[in-house]
Amino acid sequence: MKNIVLIHVLNMTKRLIPILIFQCLSMSILLAANSDAKPSSKTDAVSIASEEVDVVIRGTVVDSNGQGLPGVTVSVPGTSIGTATDMEGNYSISVSEGATLVFSFIGFESQRVAIGDRSVIDITLLEDMSSLQEVVVMGYGTQIQREVTGSVATLEATQLQDQPVGQFTQKLQGRLAGVQISQASGTPGGGMAIRIRGAASINAGNNPLYVVDGFPIVGDINNINPNEIESFSVLKGASAAALYGSRAANGVVLITTKQAKSGQTSIQVNVIQGVTQVPQRGRANLMNAREFLEDRKAIYEDKIRYEGFTGGIPELYQNPESYNGPDTNWYEELLQGGTQNSYNLSFLANKDNFSSATTLGYFEEKGVVINTGFNRFSLRTNNEYQINENIRVGVNLAPTYQTSKNAATDGYYQILYSALITPPIFSPDDVDANGNQKINFTGPGLFTFPNWKKTMLETQDRSATVRLLSNAYFEADFLTNFTFKSSASVDLGASKRRVFNPSTAGGIFSPPPKLATGSYSTQTYDSWLTENTLNYNKSFNDHSLDVIAGYSAQKYSMENNVLTGTSFPDDEVSWIDAAAIRYGNNNMSEWSLLSGFSRINYNYKGKYLLSVSARRDGSSRFGSENRWGTFPAVSAGWILSDESFAMDWSSVSYLKLRAEYGHAGNFNIGNYSQFGNISSTNYVFANSLAQGRSPVSIGNPFLTWETTVGTDVGMDIGLLDDRISLVLDFYDKRTTNMLYQVDIPYGAGFPNIQDNIGEFHFWGYEFGINASVIRSELFTWNSDFNISFNRNKVIQLGTNNTPIGGIGNYSSTIWKTEVGQPIGQFYGYIFDGIYKTQEEFDSQPKHVTSRVGTIRYKDVNEDGIIDVDDKTYIGNPNPKFFFGFNNSFSYRNFDMNIVMAGSYGGKMYYALAEWSETLEGIFNVEKYMANRWRSLDDPGDGIIGRSLSGTTEFPRNVQDRLALDASHLTVKNITIGYTLPQFNKHLKSARIFASIQQALVLTRYKGANPESSWQGLNGLQEGVDVSPYPIPRTYALGVNFNF
C-alpha cells in the first residue's frame, strides 16, 4: 500500500520539475528508511563511538545561570571519541586515562579540561561574546556567523528594546548597513519606509519580503509587537536572498520571535511611558494676522495700480494697523501633546522537554495631532514540545488587535498641508450671526476654508485590524544526520475602516457645509503555507556538509468590501443606513505559489566555504507561457586568517573574503495582469444605468517575474582579538525583465500592455565597523558605525525608452526617470531671479506669461523662449550616502545608548511652497512674500515676483530653488538606564531608564522632516515634503523587571 502511494506521488511529481522529483526521492528514502528502521535506543543516538575504554567520566554542563545545557559536544581531541549532553546537561563518556576533554557548544566558549584522576567533571560554559560564533538565522536554517558566505546583516532585538516607539522598523533605523529606513511621516502606527540596497522597480514595488519564523508574510508588518522579536536577519546579497526565489529581489527580512532559551524560566515586565510633542524646528513661518492684512492690502493696491481694478481695497484690508481680531496659528491649532505607552509581559520557560515563550503586549499612542491615535493589543505564544530526543513539535500563535483613528492626515492638500495656509485672521472659535461655531471662513479674494479644527475633531475615521499569525511544525531527527521538518503556517487578517465626514467637515477644495458622506470598508484575507524540508548534516574528516531541500506551497486570497453612503440627511446618525444614496463594491483576488528549493553548504577545514542553492517557483501570477522560474545562487568564502601564513598577523584575528552571485525575482506584478480584461463602463439610457462591458486591456500570456541578477564581494575583518570588527561589501546588480506598461499607440484602442521590458543597474558599497572601544570592569564603550553608498542608472525603459514622468508642472509629478540617468530625479526649471527692470525684461528670454517683475527661469536650451523645453534635472532625492552611528556605554550600574542616523546629499522638494508662496492672494503665505516685486522703484528681494493676474501660476512650477538639501544627522534615541542592585530574591534583575526618541535633528533643510517622502522610499518617487504628520519627540521613562 505504502509503495503504491509512493509511486503515485512520484508519478505526479515527475510531471513537474526535476527538483521536486529529487524532493520526492528524498522523501521516499525517508519513508523507506523509516519503515525499515528499528527503533533505536536512547544511548545509541547519543554516543558516537567508543575505543579502548578505560575510564568513565560523567558530569553536568551548565551555563552561567546554573541551568543545564543540552546538546553540548564532549569530545577528546584527535580521536573520534565524543558524546553530547542530554536534556539536563548530563553526560557520560568513556575515555582512556589521562585524556583531555573538550566541551563545545555553539554560542559558548569552548573549554578544555584534562581529566586527571577525576571521574566527575562538572563544567560551567561561558557565553561566547564574540559575534563570530553567533548563530545567524538564514533562509531555511541557521549558520554560524563565521561560516556565512552571503551578505547578511543581523541584529539582536535586545539592543533595541528601550526605544519608545511602536514599530520595529523605527528601531532599525541606522542599525543596518545597506538598509535605508526613513520615517517619512509620524503617523501613529505608520509612516515607515524601507529600501534595501537601493532596490527599485517601476511597477512591482521595492518592499522587502518579510519572513516571520520561516513564514513569508503578505500583510502589514506594523502590527507585529517589536517586543516579540528576538532577532533580525536581513538578507541583502544576491545569494543570501536567492533561496526565496521569485520574491527575494528586494531583499529579505527574517524575523525570529522569542523562544525560551534552554533552562530559562523567567517573567519579564517592560513598561515604557512617554509624552510626545512636536518640535518647533522646521515649522512653516507664515504671516501673522497683521502682516497678512498688510499683504492683502498691498495686493489690492497693485491690482488698482496695474490692472485697472476699480473695486477699491476691501474694508477688511484697509487698516491693518488697527486690526485687533484673532491671530491664529492654524498648524498649532491641530496639534496637542501626545502620549505613548507600552506595556509588555513575557513568560519564558524551558523545562522538561517543553519550551514556551509568551509575550503579552499593549501599546497605545495618543497622537500629536488632535483626534488621532493608535492602539495595539498583542499576544504571541511560541511553544515547542520535545516528544523524544528526536522529535519536536511546535506551535506559534500570535493574535493581534489594532485600532487607529484619523490616520488620513498626510498627502497633497490634506489637512496638515491645507490648514497651514489658512489666514490667521480666522479663529476656530469664531461664531456666526446665530452664535454657532463657524464651519468655514472666507474673505475678499480668499478661498473658502473649512474650520480645520472642527473638521479634524468631527471627522470619524476609525480602523481596526484583527490578525492571527500562526505556525505549527513537526521536526524529526533520524538516521543521525537527517532532520525532517514539516510546517503549516496560516496568516488570517480582517480589517475594517469606518469613515464619516459630517456636513461640517471639509477639505480645501470642498469646504463645508456639504452633504455628509461615509464609507465602511472591510477586508479579509488568508494566506497559508505548507512547507517540508529535509536537512542532512554531516562532518567527516575535514569536510562539513549541510544540505537542505524542500518544497512549499503558498496561497493567498483576499476579499474586499466597500460600502459608500452619500447624502446623509444630517450628522446625527453616521452609519451607512442613514444615507440617502448607498452603493457598494465587492471584489476578491488571490494568488498561489508552488516552490521547490535546495541548498548545499559545504566547508573544508572550516575555512574554505561554499554554498550553492537553487529555487524553482511556479506562480499563478505568471503568464501561462512562462509559469516556472529558476533562481540559482552560489557563494564562497575563504577565511584567510586560518591559513598558516596568517598566523603571524598579530593584529588581525579574523579575515574572511566572500563572493556571491545569484538570481532573485520580484513577483509583485499584480494578480491577473496576464489576462486581457473586459471591464464595466456604464452609460445612461432613458435616465437610468445601462451596464456596458468592453475590453480594456490586452492580455500577455508571456508575462513573468522581474529578475535581479547580482554579485557581491565582501570582506569580514576582526582586529585585536575581534574587539574591532569590520564588514565591507561591494555589490552590483541588474534588474531586468522589469514589469512595464509598454505604451502602444492609442490607435490600437488600448494605452499600453504589460510586458517585461526594462532594466535598472544598481551598485554600491557598504561599510560597517563595530568596536569594543573600552572594555574594563567599570566602564565599557561599544561603538558601531555603518555607512552605505547606493547608486543606480536606468538602462532600458520599455520598447522606446520613453522617459517616465517629467511632464507635469507641480511637485506631485516632479520626478523623471530616463535612460542613462539615475532613477527618479527631480525635473523642473532653474530659478533665475525676476525681471527687475524693463531692460532686463526686453533683453532676456521670456515665457508667454512673463512681464516686468515676474519670475525668470533659466533658458536652458537657449532658444530665447522659456517653455517646458527648458526643464532640466534639478536634484536627486537619493542621498549620496546614509549612515548610522550607535554608541553604548556602561559604567557600574549605569548604561547609556545613543542611536544616530542620517544621510548626506539627497534633495527634498519643499512642496508646501506651492501654496505658501501663492501670489493670487487666496491663501496665507510665507513671511518673505512681503518682499515681492511691487514696482520698478520697489523691486523687493529679487526672488519673489509680482502679483499681476495671469502671471502668478508660472512661479508655482517646480524649480530648483525649492529642491533643498536634506542632508541630516538625527539623534534618534538617547537612553540612560540604571540597573538596581538586587533587593529581592525573586527579582533577578530590575532596571529603570529614561529615553528620548527623535531627540535632535541636525539639518539645513527648511522643513521639519528631512526624511519626508509622501511616496515613501520607492525609488522612483522620493523626497517630496507635503507637510506630513509631524514626527514627535518622545520623552519616556521605563522599567524592565525580570523575575
Partner 1 sequence: MKNYNFKCITTFLILAHTFMGCHEFLEENPETFISPNAYYRNAEDATSAINAVYAILPRFYQGIAYGESVFFTLEMPSDQALSGTGVSVVDQDRLDAYIYDPAIRHLRLWWQYSYQGINAANSVLYYVPDIEMNENLKNRILSEAYYLRAYFYFDLVRLFGAVPLSIEPTLNISNVNVSRDEVTVIYDQIIQDLIRAENHLPLAGSGEVEHGRATKGAASTLLSKVYLTLERWEDASNKAEEVVNSGAYQLFNDYSQAFKVENKNGIEHIFSIQFERVIISSNFHAWFLPRYRGIQANTEEFGAILPNMDFYNSYGEDDYRKTANFYTSYPAADGSGIVEFEPHIFKYFDPSVDVVGGSSMNYPKIRYAETLLILAEAENEINGPNAKALNAINQVRSRAKLPNLENTEGFQPTKEYFRNAVLQERSWELAYEGNRYFDMLRTNTSISGALVGYDSGSGVFKAHNILFPIPQREIDNNNSLVQNPGY
**Complex with partner 1: residue 160 or 534, whichever CB lies closer:** 534
Helix (H) or strand (E) holding 910, with range, is: strand 907-910
| Range in contact with partner 1 (rule: CB under 8 A) among 59-67, 675-683, 825-833, 880-888 | 675-683
Rule CB under 8 A: say whether 472 interacts with partner 1: no
Location of C-alpha cell 477699491: 312
Question: Interaction with partner 1 in 593-612: which residues (CB under 8 A)?
Answer: 594
Looking at the Cβ atoms of 581 and 773, the one nearer to partner 1 is 581
Q: Which stretch binds partner 1 (CB under 8 A): 44-52, 120-128, 616-624, 1033-1041?
A: 616-624
Contacts of 319 by beta carbon, 8 Å cutoff, 6+ apart: none
Residue 65 or 585: the one with the smaller Cβ distance to partner 1 is: 585
* Stretch 827-866: interaction string toward partner 1, x if CB under 8 A: ---------------------x------------------
Interaction residues for partner 1, span 370-389 (CB under 8 A): 387
Interface with partner 1 in residues 119-178 (CB under 8 A): none
- By CB under 8 A, the residues from 655 to 674 that bind partner 1 are 671-672, 674
Of 86-94, 349-357, 676-684, 1018-1026, the segment contacting partner 1 by CB under 8 A is: 676-684
Near partner 1 in 904-923, by CB under 8 A:
920
Query: Could you tell me how many residues of this chain bind partner 1 (CB under 8 A)?
Result: 95
Position 362 contacts partner 1 (CB under 8 A)? no
Pick between residue 379 and residue 594 the one whose CB is nearest to partner 1: 594
Specify whether the CB–CB gap between 709 and 665 falls below 8 A.
no
Q: Which residue among 4, 35, 650, 820 contacts partner 1 (CB under 8 A)?
A: 35
In this structure, the dihedral spanned by the alpha carbons of residues 736, 741, 742 and 747, taken in order and rounded to 10 degrees, is 170
**8 A C-beta contact, residue 927 and residue 291:** yes
Report residue 884 as a C-alpha cell: 548610522
Site string for partner 1, 263-292 (x = CB under 8 A): ------------------------------
**Closer to partner 1 by Cβ: residue 306 or 401:** 306
Are the C-beta atoms of residues 92 and 61 closer than 8 Å to each other? no
- CA angle 435–441–447, rounded 5-degree value: 165
Q: Please, what is the minimum distance in Å from the beta carbon of residue 149 to partner 1?
A: 31
The nearer residue to partner 1, 2 or 118, going by C-beta atoms, is: 2
Nearer to partner 1, 24 or 57 (CB): 24
Does position 891 interact with partner 1 (CB under 8 A)? The reply is: no
Phi, psi at residue 535, to the nearest 5°? -120, 135
Query: Which single residue is written with the C-alpha cell 480589517?
Result: 495
Q: Does 39 bind partner 1 (CB under 8 A)?
A: yes
Question: Are 94 and 106 a contacting pair, CB within 8 Å?
Answer: no
Q: Is 691 in the site for partner 1 (CB under 8 A)?
A: yes
CB atoms within 10 A of CB 542: 11
**Spatial contact of 446 and 429, defined as CB atoms under 8 Å apart:** no
Binding residues for partner 1 restricted to 733-752, rule: CB under 8 A: 743-751
Site for partner 1 contains 530 (CB under 8 A): yes
Which helix (H) or strand (E) segment holds residue 897: the answer is strand 894-904
The angle subtended at Cα 1015 by Cα 1014 and Cα 1019, nearest 5°, is 135
* CA-based nearest residue to 139, from 535, 603, 622: 535
Q: How far is the CB of 674 from partner 1 (least distance, A)?
A: 7
> Applying CB under 8 A, which part among 13-21, 139-147, 166-174, 281-289 lies near partner 1?
13-21
Give all strands of the β-sheet with 252-257 in edge-to-edge order. 152-156, 229-235, 252-257, 209-212, 215-217
Check binding of 66 to partner 1 (CB under 8 A): no
Query: Is residue 571 a contact residue for partner 1 (CB under 8 A)?
Result: no
| Residue selected from 50, 353, 589, 935 as contacting partner 1 according to rule CB under 8 A | 589
CA distance 125 to 102: 11
445: cell is 479674494
Using CB under 8 A, pick the residue from 9, 466, 713, 943 that binds partner 1.
9
Residues 791-810 within binding reach of partner 1 (CB under 8 A): 800, 802, 807, 809-810
Q: Is the CB of residue 781 less than 8 Å from the CB of residue 770?
A: no
Nearer to partner 1, 2 or 892 (CB): 2
Site for partner 1 contains 683 (CB under 8 A): yes
**Among 587, 598, 487, residue whose Cα is nearest residue 535:** 598
- Closest approach of Cβ 901 to partner 1, in Å? 38
The CA radius of gyration of the chain, in Å to the nearest whole number, is: 33
441 lies in the binding site for partner 1 (CB under 8 A):
no
Find the binder of partner 1 among 49, 120, 433, 690 (CB under 8 A): 690
Cβ-contact 230, 256 below 8 angstroms: yes
Contact between 93 and 83 under an 8 Å Cβ cutoff? The reply is yes
Q: What minimum distance in Å lies between the beta carbon of 802 and partner 1?
A: 6
> Which residues inside 948-1007 make contact with partner 1, applying CB under 8 A?
949-950, 953
Measured from the CB atom, the residue of 206 and 704 that comes closer to partner 1 is: 704
Minimum CB separation from partner 1 for residue 807, in Å? Answer: 8
Residues, the chain, total? 1043
Query: CA-to-CA distance for 155 and 167, rounded, in angstroms?
Result: 15
Based on the shown chain and the rule CB under 8 A, indicate whether residue 480 belongs to the binding site for partner 1: no
- Asked if 753 is part of the footprint of partner 1 (rule: CB under 8 A), the reply reads yes
Q: Rule CB under 8 A: is residue 562 a binding residue for partner 1?
A: no
211 binds partner 1 (CB under 8 A): no
Among 305, 693, 775, 1004, binds partner 1 (CB under 8 A): 693
- Can residue 942 be called a binding residue for partner 1 (CB under 8 A)? no
Strands (E), 966-1028: 968-980, 989-1003, 1024-1025
Nearer residue to partner 1 within complex by CB, 10 or 408: 10
Instruction: Spell out the alpha helix ranges (H) of 218-310.
Output: 238-242, 289-307
Residue range at the interface with partner 1 (CB under 8 A); choices 78-86, 342-350, 617-625, 988-996? 617-625
Decide whether 223 or 674 has the Cβ nearer to partner 1: 674
Interface residue with partner 1, options 126, 129, 678, 1002 (CB under 8 A): 678
* 522 touching partner 1, by CB under 8 A: no
By CB under 8 A, tell whether 682 contacts partner 1.
Answer: yes
Q: How far is the C-alpha of 682 from the C-alpha of 703, rounded, in Å?
A: 29
**How many other CB atoms are there within 10 angstroms of residue 62's CB atom?**
19
- Letter string b/e over residues 90-127, b meaning 16 or more CB atoms within 10 A of that residue's CB: ebebbbeeebebebbbeebeebebebeeeeebebebee
Residue 733's nearest CA partner among 661, 798, 636 is 661
